[in-house]
A and B are shown apart, each in its own frame.
Chain A
């Protein structure tokens, strides 16, 4: 009894710490940058009707940026958690699976072919691309036991192919610089329109993922066990796959292919709160948001005052982590 209480206390305290840190992160994210803004000003700016210059910066630039960071981070982390559950492979994540590369390729193509296309409809091309990339890698890596190496190699091959096609399109189109910045993964310069694009997908996706979490916990036990417990395995897998496409696709459409968030976060979360997906999914969302908000803050200082894309920061943190996971073992220890 006591240990259950202890575990509960631990989880609640983790949750509270994470939320406090996230709040703090958002406040820091709003206040630091080329124009430093103090706390009072930030609070004031929320209620000001005739904003000053600083308040205008907050309202139109910094706040949407922080919110997008949190949303994209949450999306990617949950997408990663779902993928690791479906494939039962600890390296699975939107980036390794070619989902990000597929979405970017389709967005860049759509952008090059139909420059007048509005951002909301770009999201749909991201969905198609995410599905194409993910399914290709899955079909080549699965079967006969999806080992790390097979997944990683199939992923990297599809990634090479899609990214060189993307680069080709960029070389031939004129807006190379804008697209390139987006292509590295960045949440810099986003506005409320972008928040509005990602928000509905994010909320519905995360909500359905939460509803699905119980079935996913059972799915992770193995196909036969899940079937024995009365789960419709394939339907749940399919549903989770669609969620991955929605979550990762909408993130890429707004912020570009930010790597490694979906890989790292589920592992950290699993270590903190255990293997139950009822907890893993909400905590992944929380920690994913946390990681991206802080990574974005860090990105502003790497080459201050130049704003580096946040995707570079996540890659530098994430690649060693990938190594660590790859060396550690073959399957998730549930």
Chain B
């Protein structure tokens, strides 16, 4: 624990200042990211465009393709990270994350079914289905884990098994309907390619959750003390847990529905945030969200900027960054115990 104190800055720096710095970083990253891609636009040109001057072709690219994409990256990144932070809080397991416990795969399976079986269905069905898929997996998980007395370890193993079953289902549909294979594959890896305003409109309602989450942060702090203490402090801990789980499942479902199953953000963003702002949820939650947004922005920008005009799906980049970090965490977990 002493070692950890070194990383925490909250003693010297006001948490709001950290959040402000993170916001500024997001802003700068967004401007850089807007320029990257098959047609490069310099930051100064971007600012010119944003204040209403600039060439019409650049304006077209920016307003139709890149701006919605950046907005999606920010919302999805912060959504996944928030969901991860909540899961880690209510399960009191630092390794819990949407992808490890199989919820992402559940959303993925549901969405693939919609994509290949009902290609003509209106676009709003996709997030709905993804949410239902995520919720089904979450419910099964809860059934398994609660019987056993909420052992965090069991949760990970049950999640992995459920994930494997969903994966088999996804693969089945991909093989059965090979015409859609490129679409489903890109979607499964997770990519912001060709996402536009339509997807932004799907995501926007999620912002309603923000005030709810702000209200819940203090409860999360109490819950993380353990069920007994939380009950002692007058909280209906089980009920709260379900509410919070529900919120994170909604977030995961909607995010996965928009960009596909982008992995590891829900896992590593809360970890980085915890290192910098400490583990009080009042600061941790917004910090995780901002870090999540930064991570996805960086991943998407790298994907677009490394080898233009080829785009590397953002999900691949997050996996390349996230998996080693996860293994490192696993290692340090071991040393602690």
A-side residues, CB < 8 A to B, are 136, 140-141, 143-144, 147-150, 152-154, 156-158, 160-161, 164-165, 167-168, 170-172, 176-177, 180-181, 183-184, 259-260, 302-303, 306, 308-309, 311-312, 315-316, 318-320, 322-323, 326-327
Q: Pick the residue among B156, B316, B327 that contacts A167 (CB under 8 A).
A: B316
The digit string for B127-163, where 1 denotes a CB below 8 A from any CB of A, is: 0000000000000000010001000011011101111
Is A306 a contact partner of B323 (Cβ separation < 8 A)?
A: no
Is B165 a contact partner of A158 (Cβ separation < 8 A)?
A: no
* Known pairs A316-B165, A323-B157; A177 contacts B312 (CB<8 A): no
Question: How far, in Å, is A92 (CB) from chain B's closest CB?
Answer: 14
Question: How far, in Å, is A296 (CB) from chain B's closest CB?
Answer: 15
Among the 9-residue stretches B74-82, B111-119, B173-181, B243-251, the one with 4 or more Cβ atoms under 8 Å from chain A is: B173-181
Is B185 a contact partner of A319 (Cβ separation < 8 A)?
A: no
Q: Which 8 pairs of residues, A with B, have the shortest CB-CB distance?
A: A161-B323, A315-B168, A326-B157, A164-B319, A323-B161, A168-B316, A319-B164, A149-B153
| Further 4 A-B residue pairs, CB within 8 A, beyond A143-B334, A312-B168 | A154-B330, A184-B172, A316-B165, A318-B164
Is A327 a contact partner of B175 (Cβ separation < 8 A)?
A: no
* Known pairs A184-B171, A311-B168, A312-B172; A160 contacts B316 (CB<8 A): no
Is B168 a contact partner of A316 (Cβ separation < 8 A)?
A: yes
Is A319 a contact partner of B165 (Cβ separation < 8 A)?
A: yes
Grouping DSSP codes into helix (H, G, I), strand (E, B) and loop, the B interface class, with mixed when no group exceeds half, is: helix
**Chain B interface residue bracket vs A:** 35 or more
Is A180 a contact partner of B175 (Cβ separation < 8 A)?
A: yes
Is B156 a contact partner of A153 (Cβ separation < 8 A)?
A: yes
Is B327 a contact partner of A149 (Cβ separation < 8 A)?
A: no
A327-B153 Cα distance, complex, nearest whole Å: 10
Is B327 a contact partner of A152 (Cβ separation < 8 A)?
A: no
- Which of chain B's residues have a CB closer than 8 A to the CB of A148? 153, 157
Q: Pick the residue among B153, B160, B310, B331 that contacts A156 (CB under 8 A).
A: B160
Is B181 a contact partner of A176 (Cβ separation < 8 A)?
A: yes
Residue of A141, A165, A180 with most chain B CB atoms under a 10 A cut-off? A180
Question: How far, in Å, is B175 (CB) from chain A's closest CB?
Answer: 6
A268-B232 Cα distance, complex, nearest whole Å: 47
B320 is an interface residue with CB less than 8 A from chain A:
yes
Question: How far, in Å, is A295 (CB) from chain B's closest CB?
Answer: 12
